[in-house]
Amino acid sequence: MKRYLIVFAAIAVLSACEQQASEAVATAAVTESAEEFLARVNSELGELDRVRGAAGWLEVTYIIEDTAILKAAADERYAEWHSRTVGEAARYDDQELSPETRRALNLLKLDVLLPAPDDAAKRKELTRLATDLKGMYGTGKYCRSANDCLSISELEGLMQQGRDYDELLDIWTGWRSIAPPMREKYARYVELANEGANELGYGNLGEKWRSGYDMSASNFQAEALRLWEQVEPLYEELHCHVRAKLGEHYGEDKVPQDGPIPAHLLGNMWAQEWGFLYDLMEPYPGVSDLDVDSTLKTKNYSPQEMVRSAENFYVSLGMPRLPDTFWERSMFSKPADREVVCHASAWGLDGGNDLRIKMCIKQTYDELRVIYHELGHNYYQGAYKDQPPLYRGGAHSGFHEAIGDTITLSMTPEYLAEVGLVASAEQSQQAIINQQMQQALDKIAFLPFGKLIDEWRWAVFSGEISPDNYNQAWWDMRTRYQGIAPPVERSEANFDPGAKYHIPANVSYTRYFLARILQFQFQRALCEAAGHEGELHACSVYGSKEAGTRLQAMLEAGASEPWQNTLEKLTGTREMDASAIIDYFAPLMVWLEEQNEGRSCGW
């Protein structure tokens, strides 16, 4: 009965939303000024987002056919509104407008990540395809036998802890068996999404995505390459050392020392972060082991207590406590009675007045860092909630991901000791190298992966990569950037991109690459505000109201200004800069160069 009450209530809300939107359009005067038009758009968008957010939350926390239908209906309704409203906005294209008004109109065009064609049947087809693809991932399992079916979270746990070559290979190939059925749907989805992007004036969907950075699409592509080239030397040194250690463990017959690393050996289902290899990579065994996992288990931290730990950090900067509704409505653990998407995410529903996170929290340090990250989204959403709906977003997509990541950089040994998560904050040079290796295995190893996911999609959307070479192009790109290769032969019968959540879920990935750059730039600026003296890696801004004030000023601006202006509020500069990463990891870089002396690096 509860299931149907939820569905009926959602249908009623959707119907009310549709009626209100229709009435608003009917009464809007064709002669309204651009400013009056935007006022109406913001009013309608606020209500549409409220309903879409509610439907989206239901879809991922209550995976049944009914909630998928509701989400598809909400998305279709939004797509129809967006297509119609962008068409209405075209009448202001040739008018002389203030920069603020022109910016808001441009943001309207960019507001949808998946633009739908202005055709009811195609719009319905696209929203259903998007919902189907996301659902196929969310319910995907690898069945080793009829009674042994494993979800992605269970498979990830095995991948993180496993060290048996063949068992890891079975897990790796098994999860990818969920993706081939997505392939045909994805190809059609690309066709329809490109048609929607064309109607908005973009050559393809990739061009539209790259146009959301206050510069031309081509200039942004060059900017992403510039940032990657700043950090590429550090990645190459890390790759060389990791390959050598894996060769020692598995044998050089399995890990050749002059080629790419087999993708299933890096402690992660997608080889995107390598932190779970730390037991094999630890430079100085046992020196200042930050065993937060043991503390969480020994003290039996509940999921809510782990979230409170993260909240306390933000509060120490002068930010407010999370509202009671956050604790009442968030999903902290996997329910026993239904399927959910466990992939961690933060939600700013009802325009940011209803903050939530969705996770299946485990008692690990990795999960704790994810919580600190997700609350960064929530505090950003809460900070800009008073902006008009068109401005409720990050200065650019990388900003949103960078906030929580910046805070995790302040989870130094001193901080962890101060809040009782470790017993000691030893800081010998050997301890520093150990800690930096632990961080680099995640943050530096991630950088090429973060760049290539959307680069592959940009080429798919442009037609440079066609459906008949989806998989080959995927692995060519992964080998070129990451220096990894599939452990077994792959063909176009496979669709390995679909085994990564963000592809079927249509989540742009460049934000994560930019966030890994920006977090160090943000941290350097916050540490300066906090009066930190000394090496950047040793800085924690915990308890610094000065740093909090600088951060809050940037968060409150949302998307109301070009990101260059917003960046300047915090850092004093108007250009993204990866040099802070090099500064932060300077001790590790020296150590890696020493270790790699005499090795044949590269692939």
Q: Which of 374, 380, 383, 440 is catalytic?
A: 374
512 assigned to active site: yes
Using alpha carbons, select from 511, 509, 548 the residue that is nearest to residue 527: 548
Closest C-alpha to 325, from 301, 349, 351: 349
Could you say which residues of the chain have pLDDT below 70?
1-30
Classify each residue of 1-36 as buried b or exposed e, where b means 16 or more C-beta atoms within 10 Å of its C-beta: eeeeebbeebeebbeebbeebeeeeeeeeeeeebee
This prediction has a pTM of 0.86
* CATH 1.20.1050 domain locations along the chain: 2-112
Q: What pLDDT, in 10s, does the model give residues 319-351?
A: 999 999 999 999 999 999 999 989 899 999 999
The model's pLDDT over 285-307, given as tens digits with 9 standing for 90+, comes to 988 777 899 999 999 999 999 99
User: DSSP state, 318?
Assistant: T
* Distance (Å, whole) CA 559 – CA 171: 42
Q: Which of 76, 401, 455, 561 is catalytic?
A: 401
Catalytic pick among 373, 396, 532, 537: 373
Distance CA 97, CA 93 (A): 9
Of the candidates 278, 343, 546, 586, the residue annotated as catalytic is 343
Query: What is the pLDDT at residue 3?
Result: 47
380 an active-site residue? no
Please tell me the predicted confidence (pLDDT) of residue 286: 82
Is 532 catalytic? The answer is no
Contact 407, 578 (CB under 8 A): no
Alpha-carbon gap, residue 68 to 581, rounded angstroms:
42
Query: Quick one: fold of 2-112?
Result: Glutathione S-transferase Yfyf (Class Pi); Chain A, domain 2 (1.20.1050)
Q: Strand 142-145 and strand 148-150: pairing? A: antiparallel
How many Å apart are CA 358 and CA 565, to the nearest integer?
Answer: 32
Residue 291: the pLDDT is 86
Q: Is 130 a catalytic residue?
A: no
Is 373 catalytic? The answer is yes
Catalytic residue among 82, 241, 264, 377: 377
Residue from 415, 512, 542, 584 carrying the catalytic annotation: 512
- Identify whether 502 is a catalytic site residue: yes
| Beta bridge partner(s), residue 261 | 484
Return phi, psi of residue 254, to 5°.
-95, -30
pLDDT at 402: 95
pLDDT of amino acid 189: 97
**Residue 494: C-alpha distances to residues 184, 431, 442 (Å):** 11, 43, 27
Concatenate the DSSP letters of all residues of 381-416 into one string: HHHTTTS-GGG-S-SSHHHHHHHHHHHHHT--HHHH
* Catalytic residue, candidates 82, 502, 532, 537: 502
Closest C-alpha among 159, 431, 150, 363 to residue 277? 159
Helical pair 429-462 and 586-595, crossing angle rounded to 10 deg: 90
pLDDT of 1 reads: 46
